[in-house]
Amino acid sequence: MKFTEEHDQLRKTVRDVVDKEINPYVDEWEQEGLFPAKTVFKSLGNLGLLGVTKPEEFGGMGLDYSYGMVVSEELGRIRCGGVPMAIGVQTDMATPALARWGSDELRREFLAPAISGDAVVSIAVSEVGGGSDVAALKTTAVKDGDDYVINGSKMWITNATQADWACVLCNTGEGKPHQNKSLIIVPMTTKGVTVSPRLKKLGMHASDTAQVFFENVRVPQANRIGEEGMGFMMQMIQFQEERLFAAASALRGLEGLIQETANYCRERQAFGAPLLDNQYIHFRLAELSTEVESLRSLAYRACEEYIAGQNVTLLASMAKLKAGRLSREVADTCLQFWGGMGFMWDNPASRAYRDGRLTSIGGGADEVMLGIIAKLMGNLPKRKK
Ligand SMILES: Cc1cc2nc3c(=O)[nH]c(=O)nc-3n(C[C@H](O)[C@H](O)[C@H](O)COP(=O)(O)OP(=O)(O)OC[C@H]3O[C@@H](n4cnc5c(N)ncnc54)[C@H](O)[C@@H]3O)c2cc1C
The per-residue pLDDT for range 313-329, each reduced to its tens digit, is 999 999 999 999 999 99
Residue nearest ligand 1's atom 45 by CA: 367
pLDDT at position 350 is 98
| Residue 1 identity | M
For residue 272, the CA-to-ligand 1 centroid distance in Å is 47
The separation between the first and the last C-alpha atoms of the chain, rounded to the nearest angstrom, is 44
For residue 207, the CA-to-ligand 1 centroid distance in Å is 17
Residue nearest ligand 1's atom 24 by CA: 131
Which class for 27: exposed (0-12), middle (13-18), buried (19 or more C-beta within 10 A)? middle
CA dihedral over 321, 327, 328, 334, signed as positive or negative: positive
For residue 371, the CA-to-ligand 1 centroid distance in Å is 14
Element (H, E) at 43: helix 37-46
For residue 79, the CA-to-ligand 1 centroid distance in Å is 24
Residue 260 annotated as catalytic: no
pLDDT at position 1 is 82
Atom number of ligand 1 nearest to Cα 370: 42
pTM: 0.97
What separation in angstroms does the CA of 143 have from each of 148, 173, 219, 305? 4, 9, 10, 39
pLDDT at position 385 is 63
pLDDT at position 176 is 94
Residue closest to 123 by CA, chosen among 161, 158, 97: 158
Q: For residue 35, how far is the Cα from the chain centroid?
A: 16
Pocket of ligand 1 (CB under 6 A): 89, 122-126, 130-132, 156-158, 201, 204, 209, 358, 361-365, 367-368, 371
pLDDT tens by residue, 260-300: 999 999 999 999 999 999 999 999 999 999 999 999 999 99
Compute, in degrees rounded to 10, the torsion defined by CA atoms 242, 247, 250, 256: -150
pLDDT at position 382 is 84
Contact between residue 255 and residue 330 where contact means Cβ atoms under 8 Å apart: no
Residue nearest ligand 1's atom 23 by CA: 131
Atom number of ligand 1 nearest to Cα 130: 26
Q: Which residues contact 298 (CB under 8 A, 6 or more apart)?
A: 247, 315, 318, 319, 322
Q: Which of 242, 287, 293, 329 is catalytic?
A: 242
- Which runs of consecutive H residues, i.e. helices, occur in 161-216? none
pLDDT averages per 10-residue partition of the chain, 385 residues: 95 98 98 98 98 98 97 98 98 97 98 98 96 96 98 98 98 94 98 98 98 98 98 95 96 98 98 98 98 98 96 97 98 98 97 98 97 97 77
